[in-house]
Structure 1
């Protein structure tokens, strides 16, 4: 019943979107989900780990694992400074942890410390060449760091390892768009045609290819999300990737607004949430360098 009510609210919100195709896009009551909240299970697990860490009869490997697990919990709650402290504590006790280097690399990317990010991802891949996320994450860090050729190398290999994953296609497209926008669109189409099109994320690719409109894209999210959690996750993705469209069109006010909407669901673990603040910061820095400070609230 609650899910149905949320769906009806979101459908109504989609219907009052206005001006979406113009360069001065305005949204009235955009689709929203109830933001993620800390669960009782997360809070109990945090308390349990805190109690265990007070014991003095645990070996270093066990304590390192507990710091890592508490770091993941803090990260999932948006407590990233606390999470980073836990991850560093874990590494100090057990230095050969590829997963810890990987998440720290993501944190360095978020804070635009790109050289540190590259080193962290290099460490991950040295410890585990088959790590499922480090190659992608290093490619994204290289993209944000402006090292497009190296970013393309990483993201192309990552795409080739999973050609039916739409997000691999999308991040590769971002790099190729910066290199040659027309060729990037052609390659995006070829990769879409070659995929199995099963994952929901291919709707994002269809939006980029102009096969569906912005209103249809948001309506798809609103009507086909099966729970509030799924709605929050898909809106986080949807608003982030829609913001990239407006950013590519130099409509920075609309892009900033959409990045803020991507942050609104509190889906802290998604890369789209992680990098929305970085995107806003990049837009603001570029704008202020050219025009002086501007209030985008």
Structure 2
């Protein structure tokens, strides 16, 4: 994506926000937005897909045992997923399960896709299959907790997200998602719990700034001015940083009841094309929900 296109995109988003009545001084911080080119399509992934396709469609595939075929199908599915080709990825994940029905990781991916599509019953079935096959799966509880959060099943969401947080309290994102679920039940208690986790477990990792953002320790304006591009890790791209930053800014504005601004931030998170980040995965769902809320507010029944 060219820089001039990015400039036009941001200008349009700002105009849309202003036209919804949230312009002027209240939206001055939007002038501090940072944009970068979207994450480029990974050439190495594309080459690996071509190689796997050759193997899977070759007559020699008949000489490969089912376990290895399942691994090949799964690997190609994961690569498709990383490139944002979700329909092709789903097909391959299902093919992997045809050859190895005990592949917990494939169920975990399918559950994520079902959640993105708001097919929550199917998502729960997939995550429960993953957990049954691998009770210590590193992400199934997180992903089932997020599904429960979006399906408004907050007791289950809190249970799963608490379990995921307990497995690694130093991970700031685990703290954030637990907060989002807890906040639905008791906002004040959720903020106290978030602050306690911050004091007990915080490190210098960038994600803890996002916890400070939710607590109001760091203002939106200061966050935009000082933290968007600060101290990028050696293996971190600007698109990845912005994907996270804008998604959680969207969640902040959502909690404040400013759905117009939240919509802008979720759109910016989606524009980064960091397909493997859960923030990108659920930005589309958040956009749809923000639009529904705004439509209802403009056209009350």
Asked if Structure 1 and Structure 2 have the same fold, meaning a TM-score greater than 0.5 normalized by the shorter chain, the answer is yes
TM-superposed deviation, 1:224: 2.2
Describe the shift of the 1:165–1:228 C-alpha distance in structure 2 as closer, same or farther (beyond 3 A).
Answer: closer
Question: Is the 1:25–1:254 contact (alpha carbons within 8 Å) kept by the matching residues of 2?
Answer: no
Question: Is the 1:23–1:251 contact (alpha carbons within 8 Å) kept by the matching residues of 2?
Answer: no
- 1:72 matched residue in structure 2: 78
For 1:116 and 1:41, the matched residues in 2 are separated by 32
The reply to whether residue 30 of structure 1 matches residue 27 of structure 2 is: no
For 2:220 and 2:72, the matched residues in 1 are separated by 44
TM-superposed deviation, 1:22: 6.5
**Residues 163-211 of structure 1, C-alpha deviation per residue, up to 9 Å, x if partnerless?**
1111111000001111111111111101100014232100101111222
Question: Is the 2:165–2:175 contact (alpha carbons within 8 Å) kept by the matching residues of 1?
Answer: yes
**Higher mean C-alpha displacement, 104-113 vs 28-37:** 28-37
**Higher mean C-alpha displacement, 176-185 vs 229-238:** 229-238
- Which of 268, 282, 287 aligns to 2:289? It is 282
The reply to whether residue 123 of structure 1 matches residue 129 of structure 2 is: yes
- Which of 260, 273, 282 aligns to 2:280? It is 273
For 2:73 and 2:228, the matched residues in 1 are separated by 36
Aligned length in residues = 279
**Residues 254-281 of structure 1, C-alpha deviation per residue, up to 9 Å, x if partnerless?**
1111001001111000000000000111
- Which of 238, 241, 250 aligns to 1:234? It is 241
- 1:10 matched residue in structure 2: none
The reply to whether residue 47 of structure 1 matches residue 50 of structure 2 is: yes
TM-superposed deviation, 1:23: 5.4
Secondary structure of the residue aligned to 1:66 is helix
The reply to whether residue 190 of structure 1 matches residue 196 of structure 2 is: yes
**Residues 43-74 of structure 1, C-alpha deviation per residue, up to 9 Å, x if partnerless?**
21111011111223222222221111111111
Question: Is the 2:179–2:190 contact (alpha carbons within 8 Å) kept by the matching residues of 1?
Answer: yes
Question: Is the 2:29–2:221 contact (alpha carbons within 8 Å) kept by the matching residues of 1?
Answer: no
Unaligned runs of 5+ residues in structure 2 are 4-9
Higher helix residue share = 2
For 1:193 and 1:81, the matched residues in 2 are separated by 43
- 1:251 matched residue in structure 2: 258
Consecutive aligned runs of 4 or more in structure 1 exceeding 6 Å deviation: 17-22
- 2:138 matched residue in structure 1: 132
The reply to whether residue 213 of structure 1 matches residue 214 of structure 2 is: no
For 1:211 and 1:230, the matched residues in 2 are separated by 26
Secondary structure of the residue aligned to 1:36 is coil
TM-superposed deviation, 1:232: 1.2
TM-superposed deviation, 1:20: 9.7
The reply to whether residue 161 of structure 1 matches residue 167 of structure 2 is: yes
For 2:143 and 2:24, the matched residues in 1 are separated by 32
Question: Is the 1:20–1:214 contact (alpha carbons within 8 Å) kept by the matching residues of 2?
Answer: no
- Larger relative CO (CA 8 A, sep 6+): 1 or 2? 1
Unaligned runs of 5+ residues in structure 1 are 1-5, 7-12
For 2:272 and 2:110, the matched residues in 1 are separated by 23
For 1:248 and 1:80, the matched residues in 2 are separated by 30
